[in-house]
Every structure is written in C-alpha cells, then in structure tokens.
C-alpha cells in the first residue's frame, strides 16, 4: 500500500519493484520460446507506450466497470483482514500493492476468460481497469490503518485506558460512531490535493517510487510475456495461501486456553520464552519478513535483544528502589511505564528527525522546482540548466501527458467538496466527541491542506508518508490546548484521527495519480475509484474490527494474541501531552531523554555516512516496536529474511520474481484464517486441546498435585 509512516513505514523503505521476465521460467518451459515473435522488432527497442500504441485507451467511464468494483470489494475484505491482524499484533504493515495488482489481474482475467468462452464478454480487460482495481483495494484496506483501529481509535477504549495512568477519560468502540467518524474525516484529503495533480506529476515530475513500481508491474502484466509470468506468480501465491491457511487451521486445535499452542512454543527454552524470545510459527510474519528490507527485520530483533534481553531484566532488579515492588509489572508506575515511555521516546525522536528531514527536503525541492520553472519560462539561455529540461519529450511522455490532461477535474469542484465536507465534519464531530470542540477542528482544517501537500510532496520524493507523525503533532497540540479537565486525552486522540486521515489519503491519491499517469488511466477514474474504495473501507474496516472486538475478550491486553501495542502507545502520548512528565516512575524521564537523543543521533549518523554504508545502520523506529510486546515476531521476520537471502543466492531471478508472491500467499492465508477463527470464537466453539509448556517450578506443583490426589 505504500502506506504510511512510522509504524507502517518501519514500514516500507520501499525499493522500486522490477518485474523480470527472463530466467524465471519453469523447468518444463521451452527456453527457445522466450524470444519468439520478436524477430521483426526487438521488444527492447520499443518503449512501453509504443508496445501499447495499437490499443485504444477506454474513456474514463469505461475504466470504471462493475466487475472492477465487484473484484475490488472481495479483495478489500481479504486485505482488510490482513491489515487488521497486523494492526492488532505488531503494527508493522508491509506494502500490499503488489498483491492487490496481481490478484486483481488474476480475478478479472479469469472473469473475462469465462465470459469470452460463453460469448458474454463485452469489454476486454485493460491495464487501466487493472489500475482502478489496485487503487480501489489499496484505498479501502488503507482505512484499516489510517482509521486507527490499532492506534488512536482503539486507544480511546476502556480496556486500553486501564493499562495507562488515566483510567477515566475513555470512549468504548461502537460500530455506529466509528463508521460515522470515518465517513466525515476520510474524504477531505482527496479533495485537498486534486488541484495540485498537474504540478506534482507533470511539472515537478515527482518519482513516487511505490506508484511508479506498481505502474510498471501492471504494464508488464498486460504484455504477453508479463501475463505468462503473472499466471505463474498467481499459481505460486495460491499454493502458499492454501499452505498458510491450513497451517493456521491446524494450530487452532491446540489453543484451548491462554498462552498455549504453537504460538507460545518455547523454541529457545523456557527462560527465553519468559522474556519473549521464541519462534511463534506465524506464517504471516515470515511473509512480512520476506517483503520488508533486511535492515528493518534486523533492527526489530536488535531492539528486542536490547530491551527484553538487557534493559528490562536490569530495571526489574531495581524494584523497591526505582518503583514500588508491590506494584504489578503491568502498572504504568512500575516496569510497564519504562517499556511504554522509552518506546514513545524512540518513536518521537525518529519521527521528529524524519519529519524535519522530509519537510526540509520538501521545501528545498519545491524551491528548486519553482526556480527551474522560472528559468524555463524565461527566454535567456542558461548554461547550467539541467539537461532534461532541454530534451524533446519522449513519445511516452507526450502520450501520457496528453491523456493525463484530457480529463480535467474542476478546481471549483475540489474546493467546493473540501468546504462542504469540512462544514459537515465541523458540525458532526463535536457530537461524536464532545471533548473535540468545533474551533479545534476549524484550526485543523485551516492547516490541513498545507500539511497534506507537504506529505504528498515528501512522499513523491522519498516514498515516505509521515501521516502518523502529523497525527502525533495533533495529539500534543490539541491535547495540551484542551487540558486535562476538558477531556484532553480524548480530544488529542480524536484530533490525531482527523489529521492522519487527511494527510494519509492525500499522499495515497497522488501515488495513484502517478500510477494512472504511467498506465494511461484517467485522473477522473483514479479519483472516483479512490473515493469508492475509501467509502468501502469506511464500512468494511469497522465491521472487521467489530468482529475482532467481540470475538476476543482480551483484545488489546499484553497477554492477548492481539495486544494492539500502538493503542497503549498513542494513549500514553496523549496523557503525556496533557499531564506532562510528573507521573513517570523514577529515572524513566532521564532514560526517555537518552533514548530520544540516541534515536536522533542514529539517524544523523545514518545520513552522514551516506546511503551505501547507512543501509547497515539499524532503524530506531523499528527497534522501538518490540520494547513493549517482545521479540517473538522479530524472530519470525528474520527467518523470512533468511529464506529470501538463501533463495536469492541460489536463483536470484526467480527469487525476485516469485518472492513477493510467496510472501503474499503466506500473509493472505494466515490473515484470512482469522475470519473463521473469529466466527468460531463468537459462536463459543473452543479448540479441544491446550498445548502448554510449564517451567520446572510449575511442573513440580503439578506433580505434587497429582501425587497427592492419587
């Protein structure tokens, strides 16, 4: 999804995806077939748009087909379950754009093949329609992240409030108000950047690496060789989807009680298990590890070793001195306070650094673009003018620009839509959150378009969306403005949701405009597919979350299979913004300062030594995630990295072509298993077996009980 920011951008330091059609053929393929049909004009001699020049580009209305949205709806449900599970477990969400494009191609291609045989095919499947599907699915499933179900929104609940120092200021989830909230805040970002699409895509020629990569993927699917490779990728995805699904089903039989089953298998010993070091047999995170860059996975593991292997045991030994030894470990004034607030310090340090870095680069790039535009508009020849501005536009650029500018979206339509939705939102949100006064919302909406532009522009330069960083900014400013006596915690969390949704959807839409520009999909079809996908997400995501919320009584608790770690983090950020630092345990604030500084220093070192060497420096944001929930998922992810590394050494071409399909299959299969598992839990059907491993002390108790009872 190329989405977002901190948690997710631990996310996606994404590299452009290259689709290779050579050296990825199965053993039974005839290698002599690879170059057939290319004798007249070598494929390499033709540009992308020259290959498709003979195909008529459908109108923007014809790109928005019923079958596209039927497929998008089905895939949106699948991807929402996946994103929701990742949200509620660790918060690390890899890019699922490849999976969305690949599965969209497969489903519609199957649809058209059946319709063609039956003589009912009225419209062929085009790359523009494929782009519409990908856009709609990513927009819909993206709401599962920006909707805050694993962060700010769930952080408002009573169950999360009980894990913090403020247990009074809460609002429990309800399907009605969540859907209403998302509908009034999720569309503003779309209207805020529509007037800037030409500046972003054509004038400034921003890269948008994820959008560009997705476009290349879709373009390749619709060439003969690309379609052949896509068919093999889908077949591979299906195999590992089935394997992952049935593995999840098998594991379910052994989870009759808490902390039992394969997910709690002490693979590294019972002592390591007590400190959250074990392999939990999750195919989801093995797949995530195959998608995420190596340095992300290693950073997560290093963070787990530093926290659970070194720091927490040392701080635990200081109980009675640093904090009251009578307090439970889960109390925020005990060890839990160190876990949460040190993680917050690292997240804020890393987020602040990257916010300043991306903002500086954005403003610098914008200034340079405007200066170059001024020079280009003048009649004076300039010797040091970048050469690309003097070159005649290529055939591809001319064709893409012509079609991109063909279907205009009125500026007045965008401005009118923004004002109308803002007015509805200002009137509605105070009824959902009485703590969020109307004038807080007005201030947010005044600054939001500028911040949305900065986020969209920065994403075009760096592929980083800093939506959650802007959200945290809203938490502190609005929370402090409201104050503790006026429900500042809830006001800050709600403001975070408003800001996150605006800047997140803004960057997503500009990414989609870039994808549409490179696949000749109309800006109008991109805009309307994004709107329809967002509307789908505003209904699907709350319903999926509601299923999790009702199926698992301990949702959001550290002992739960779905601990939602960022919900606690976001709530405590809000408390920190409202109440200050007075409630922290001894030396916790000092440690927070130290780790805040370390996060900034690590980033400075990373940038100072350059990209080549800097890629070996750990990412502070990734290191912070296991501070609260442990290292078990880091081991899974590192195993995924190891599999990919070995595969690449054996056959690099096949690994590059099929690893995303294998990873997507592992993630999708395990993710969709959560649907029947949740239904079984709601129905009160429990697994028949509990497979639990006890410590030596606990085993002695069991032996004593058995001997006495006999």
The answer to the question of residue 196 being in a domain is yes
The answer to the question of residue 43 being in a domain is no
pTM of the entire predicted model:
0.81
Taken in order 538, 669, 75, 522, the sign of the CA dihedral is: positive
| Segment 573-621, tens digit of pLDDT | 898 888 877 667 888 889 999 999 999 999 999 888 887 888 889 988 8
d(CA 149, CA 546): 10
The answer to the question of residue 517 being in a domain is yes
Q: How many CA atoms lie within 13 A of 310 on its CB side?
A: 7
Phi/psi for 323 (5° steps) reads -155, 160
Q: Which of 194, 95, 155, 90 is nearest to 471 (CA)?
A: 155
Phi/psi for 176 (5° steps) reads -65, -55
d(CA 493, CA 472): 9
Q: Which residues contact 559 (CB under 8 A, 6 or more apart)?
A: 258, 259
d(CA 288, CA 313): 29
Which residue(s) pair with 622 in the sheet? none
Q: How many CA atoms lie within 13 A of 537 on its CB side?
A: 32
The answer to the question of residue 451 being in a domain is yes
The answer to the question of residue 499 being in a domain is yes
> 256-260, 504-508, 664-668: which has the minimum mean pLDDT?
256-260
- Identify the pLDDT of residue 699: 60
The three-class DSSP label of residue 558 is coil
The pLDDT of residue 30 is above 50: no
d(CA 473, CA 322): 31
Q: State both tokens at 452.
A: 């949305």
Domain count, the chain: 1
The answer to the question of residue 131 being in a domain is yes
d(CA 567, CA 486): 21
| Segment 226-239, tens digit of pLDDT | 778 888 888 888 89
Which phi-psi region, left, alpha or beta, contains residue 610 (left: φ > 0; alpha: ψ -120 to 50)? left
Residues 72 and 133 sit within 8 Å (Cβ to Cβ): yes
The answer to the question of residue 57 being in a domain is no
Provide the domain limits for residue 556.
62-222+332-367+416-615
| Segment 264-295, tens digit of pLDDT | 888 888 888 888 888 888 888 898 888 888 88
**More confident site: 472 or 466:** 472
d(CA 489, CA 508): 28
| Segment 385-403, tens digit of pLDDT | 333 344 577 888 899 999 9
Q: Which of 666, 665, 668, 660 is nearest to 20 (CA)?
A: 660
The answer to the question of residue 6 being in a domain is no
Q: State both tokens at 577.
A: 């913004």
The pLDDT of residue 317 is above 70: yes
Mean pLDDT of the chain: 83
Q: How many CA atoms lie within 13 A of 542 on its CB side?
A: 17
């Amino acid at each position: 999804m190329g989405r977002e920011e901190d948690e997710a951008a631990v996310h996606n330091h994404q590299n452009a995806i290259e689709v290779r059609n050579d050296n990825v053929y199965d053993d039974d393929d005839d290698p002599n077939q690879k170059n057939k049909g290319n004798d007249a004009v070598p494929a390499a001699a033709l540009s992308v748009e020259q290959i498709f020049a003979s195909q008529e580009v459908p109108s923007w209305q014809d790109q928005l087909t019923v079958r596209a949205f039927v497929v998008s709806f089905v895939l949106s449900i699948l991807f929402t379950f996946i994103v929701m599970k990742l949200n509620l477990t660790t918060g690390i969400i890899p890019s699922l754009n490849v999976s969305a494009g690949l599965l969209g191609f497969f489903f519609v291609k199957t649809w058209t093949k059946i319709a063609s045989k039956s003589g009912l095919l009225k419209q062929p499947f085009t790359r523009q329609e494929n782009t519409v599907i990908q856009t709609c699915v990513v927009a819909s499933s993206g709401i599962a992240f920006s909707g805050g179900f694993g962060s700010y929104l769930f952080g408002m609940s009573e169950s999360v409030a009980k894990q913090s120092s403020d247990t009074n200021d809460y609002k429990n989830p309800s399907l009605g108000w969540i859907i209403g909230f998302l509908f009034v805040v999720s569309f503003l970002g779309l209207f805020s950047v529509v007037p800037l699409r030409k500046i972003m895509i054509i004038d400034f020629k921003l890269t948008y690496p994820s959008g560009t990569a997705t476009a290349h993927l879709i373009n390749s699917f619709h060439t003969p060789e690309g379609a052949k490779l896509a068919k093999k990728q889908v077949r591979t995805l299906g195999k590992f989807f089935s394997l992952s699904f049935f593995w999840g089903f098998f594991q379910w039989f052994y989870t009759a009680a808490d902390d039992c089953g394969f997910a709690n298998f002490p693979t590294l010993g019972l002592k390591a298990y007590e400190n959250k070091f074990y392999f939990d047999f999750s195919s989801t995170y093995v797949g995530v590890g195959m998608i995420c860059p190596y340095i992300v996975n290693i950073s997560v593991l290093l963070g787990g070793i530093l926290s659970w292997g070194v720091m927490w045991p040392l701080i635990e030994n200081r109980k009675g001195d640093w904090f009251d030894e009578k307090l439970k470990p889960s109390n925020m004034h005990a060890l839990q306070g160190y876990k949460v607030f040190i993680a917050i310090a690292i997240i804020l340090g890393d987020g602040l650094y990257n916010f300043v870095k991306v903002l500086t680069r954005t403003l610098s790039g914008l200034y340079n673009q405007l200066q170059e535009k001024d020079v280009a508009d003048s009649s004076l020849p300039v010797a040091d003018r970048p050469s690309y501005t003097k070159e005649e536009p290529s055939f591809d650029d001319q064709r893409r620009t012509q079609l991109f500018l063909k279907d205009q979206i009125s500026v007045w339509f965008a401005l009118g839509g923004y004002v109308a939705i803002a007015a509805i939102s200002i009137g509605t949100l105070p009824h959902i959150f009485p703590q969020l006064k109307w004038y807080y919302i007005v201030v947010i909406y005044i600054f939001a378009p500028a911040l949305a532009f900065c986020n969209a522009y920065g994403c075009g330069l760096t592929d980083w969306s800093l939506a959650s960083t802007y959200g945290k900014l809203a938490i502190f400013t609005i929370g402090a403005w409201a104050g503790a006596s006026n429900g500042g915690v809830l006001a800050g969390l709600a403001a975070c949701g408003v800001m996150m949704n605006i800047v997140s959807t803004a960057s997503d839409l500009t990414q989609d405009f870039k994808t549409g520009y490179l696949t000749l999909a109309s800006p109008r079809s991109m805009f309307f597919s994004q709107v329809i996908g967002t509307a789908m997400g505003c209904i699907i995501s709350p319903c999926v979350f509601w299923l999790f919320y009702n199926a698992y009584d301990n949702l959001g608790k550290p002992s739960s299979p779905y601990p939602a770690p960022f919900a606690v983090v976001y709530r405590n950020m809000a408390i920190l913004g409202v109440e200050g630092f007075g409630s922290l345990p001894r030396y916790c604030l000092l440690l927070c300062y130290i780790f805040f500084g370390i996060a900034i220093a690590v980033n400075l070192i990373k940038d100072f030594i350059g990209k080549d060497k800097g890629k070996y420096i750990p990412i502070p944001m990734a290191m912070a995630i296991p501070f609260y929930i442990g290292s078990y998922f880091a081991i899974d992810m590192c195993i995924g990295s190891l599999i990919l590394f070995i595969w690449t050494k054996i056959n690099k071409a096949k690994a590059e072509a099929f690893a995303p399909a294998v990873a997507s299959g592992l993630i999708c299969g395990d993710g969709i298993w959560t649907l029947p598992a949740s239904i079984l839990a709601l129905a009160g059907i429990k697994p028949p077996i509990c497979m639990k491993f006890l410590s030596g002390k606990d085993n002695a108790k069991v032996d004593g009980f058995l001997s006495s009872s006999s």
